[in-house]
Amino acid sequence: MPVALLHQQLETELESIQVLAQLLHDESNALLARAQPQVLANLSQRKTAMFERLQAQGQERDRLLAQLGHAAGQAGTDAAADAHPDLQPVWQALRQAAAAARDQNERNGVYIHTHLRYTTEALAALREAQARTALYGPRGRQAPASPTASTRSHRA
């Protein structure tokens, strides 16, 4: 019976990985489309919930592996799949889906890093341009754009 329960657990994890993969795909599309921050925040919350679900499912798998006398984690699941060939197809599908999800998550991380670097560089360029731009104060005199100069111009 524990082998049947382990098989069912692996199928449940596979379904969860497939949901996560879809979320990662949606996140990738949102990042490439420069979606509104709220869209990305929503996807991030849903991703976090799926990671937590997968972690709990992994703990349940480890419990079932222990009942069968196997170690926890991938090594134990490999051993269980070797000992019970009927587990092989679902275990291989789960490993492949997990690898694909990991790769997509890494690509999304690169997209996020690229957007962050672009935004940081754009802000720096705007700040530099603002610092060089001469503004006119309330008396029509040219004043630098620094906050202290603006404050002095308004006081004068």
pLDDT in tens, the chain (156 residues): 789 999 999 999 999 999 999 999 999 999 999 889 899 999 999 999 999 999 999 999 999 999 999 999 999 999 999 999 999 999 999 999 999 999 999 999 998 888 888 788 878 887 787 777 766 556 766 665 555 544 444 544
> Please, what CATH class does the domain formed by 2-151 belong to?
mainly alpha
Q: How many CB atoms sit inside 10 A of residue 156's CB?
A: 10
- Kindly report the pTM of this predicted structure: 0.75
Task: Name the residue ranges covered by the structural domains of the chain.
Answer: 2-151
| H helix or E strand, kind and range, residue 136 | strand 134-136
* Cα torsion angle, 41, 42, 45, 50, sign: negative
d(CA 34, CA 28): 10
